Structure 1
Amino acid sequence: MDSEAAGARWAQQLEQQQQLQRARAAPWDPAERVEVSAEFASMPTRTPVHTFTVNSTPGMWDMVHLIRFISETKGLFIRGPGHMRHMPGAQAS
């Protein structure tokens, strides 16, 4: 029984050493790596939701600036001196 367990441990250690050798021998340049499975190669790449290209189209910024201009013209969103301007009697320092 002990010899079987020792043999299994030895086989496991040998497999781990071979995996390390394969990892060290793998090229570091991603262009040189070969895809192992076509299943992973055919999957579409995931794009983060909050990316610059998604959230900043040229027309969007035109609309933002137009809304700001109209709001300032009507007297909305005018900044006062200090963050407590809305409170009567509060002095900005």
Structure 2
Amino acid sequence: MAQQLGQQQLQRARAAPWDPAVRVEVSAEFASMPTRTSVRTFGVNSTPVMWDMFHLIRFISVAKGLFMGQPGHMAHNRARGVVVIL
């Protein structure tokens, strides 16, 4: 009996999908189902990996003296006595 009722609801939804009452009824039927996750979730899943890579590159740069973290414009470096070779 429940299966027949479900089939009737599905047939009504296919026959008149523009009817708001039918759309709400069908939507409520599937409301408790878990949402399907996309196969391509690279952007979401790669975020921690991306930050790990960023910090690794930053650490290596600091160790090599490439990233000194001096604030300001390049003109400020001249004021500090840093020699800029062109």
Scaled to the shorter chain, the TM-score interval is: 0.3 to 0.5
The structure with more radius of gyration = 1
TM-score normalised by structure 2 residue count: 0.38
Indicate the structure whose relative CO is greater, using CA pairs within 8 Å and at least 6 residues apart: 2
Specify which structure has the higher proportion of helix.
2
